[in-house]
Amino acid sequence: DSGVTQTPKHLITATGQRVTLRCSPRSGDLSVYWYQQSLDQGLQFLIQYYNGEERAKGNILERFSAQQFPDLHSELNLSSLELGDSALYFCASSDPRGNSPLHFGNGTRLTVT
Amino acid sequence: AQSVTQPDIHITVSEGASLELRCNYSYGATPYLFWYVQSPGQGLQLLLKYFSGDTLVQGIKGFEAEFKRSQSSFNLRKPSVHWSDAAEYFCAVGAMGSSYKLIFGSGTRLLVRP
């Protein structure tokens, strides 16, 4: 158990809809990262938050947004969903020390029909 | 451009046999290198990491990896594979600091023959 909690485990929704994925980092970790894993793109970095502030952006679509709250949990919002957004979305966290690896949650599997 | 290449999509080995999974990277700065394993329906579990120092690093579950700068490689090895090692293995490269994102390879799926 990595200590990173993601909810829900599975999500099935229709095209055009909006969903919110939630992540609770490991205790003490200030950074939260979101990754998307799909068959055609592999594991892609989406966005990073550090202590409530956006720190780095990757291949995140404009239809997607994220935030990190004062209690350090994070939410990834996906809107105007398309079939191609179907994927496994991972959250990871790391602690404030240097040279700290990422610890991943078990992911949320999103299916857009 | 920064990239990670895992040239083997699938590898099949017999239980008890040795294993080597290949990873090559392209990175502008001194890389930090990682191997993660993903079992079906699970998240990614860190097997081992290389930051600096000894180029042969030991990880969990009996895995080890060797960093070879001249070959831009970070191959994962295990002397004797167990059936429970069947999973997908990902090599990743990154750099630490205030902004930290990992670049992952496409993964190698390991199948273990009884």
How large is the average pLDDT for residues B23-33? 86
Question: Which of B9, B101, B104, B109 to probe by mutation at the A interface, max A CB count within 10 Å?
Answer: B101
How large is the average pLDDT for residues B109-114? 95
How large is the average pLDDT for residues B40-66? 91
B43 against A86, higher pLDDT: A86
Judged by CB atoms closer than 8 Å, whether chains meet at A107 and B43 is answered as: yes
Is any Cβ of chain A less than 8 angstroms from the Cβ of B9? no
State the residue for tokens 């993660």: B36
How large is the average pLDDT for residues B23-44? 88
**Is the Cα torsion angle A67, A80, A89, A99 positive or negative in sign?**
negative
Give the minimum alpha-carbon distance from A35 to chain B in angstroms, rounded to a whole number: 10
Residue A3 DSSP code: S
pLDDT band at B31, cuts 50/70/90? confident
pLDDT band at A98, cuts 50/70/90? low
Q: Which residue among A42, A56, A92 sits closest to B99, beta carbon to beta carbon?
A: A56
Q: CB B16: neighbour CB atoms within 10 A?
A: 13
Encode burial over B98-112: b for 16+ CB neighbours within 10 A, e otherwise: eebbbbbbbbbebeb
Chain segment A46-80, per-residue pLDDT in tens: 999 999 999 889 889 999 999 999 999 999 999 99
Q: Which residue among B44, B45, B100 sits closest to A94, beta carbon to beta carbon?
A: B100
Is any Cβ of chain A less than 8 angstroms from the Cβ of B43? yes
The nearest alpha carbon in chain A to B107 belongs to A42
What does the pLDDT read at residue B100?
A: 62
The mean pLDDT value of chain A amounts to: 93
Chain segment B55-111, per-residue pLDDT in tens: 999 999 999 999 999 999 999 999 999 999 999 999 999 875 545 678 899 999 999
* Of the candidates A29, A43, A5, the residue with the CA atom closest to the CA atom of residue A100: A29
The nearest alpha carbon in chain A to B52 belongs to A99
Cβ-based contacts of B49 with chain A (< 8 Å): 101
The answer to whether B76 and B92 are in contact (CB under 8 A) is no
Give the minimum alpha-carbon distance from B106 to chain A in angstroms, rounded to a whole number: 6
Beta-bridge partners for B92: B34, B104
Which of B13-17, B40-44, B66-70 has maximum average pLDDT? Answer: B13-17
Cβ-based contacts of A106 with chain B (< 8 Å): 41-43
For the record, the structure tokens of B71 come out as 């070959």
Phi, psi of A86 (to 5 degrees): -60, 125
CA–CA dist B44, B47 (Å, integer): 9
Residue A28 has pLDDT above 70, yes or no: yes
Beta strands in chain B (DSSP E): 3-5, 10-14, 19-21, 24-26, 32-38, 44-50, 56-58, 64-68, 73-78, 87-94, 103-104, 108-113
The one-letter amino acid at A23: C
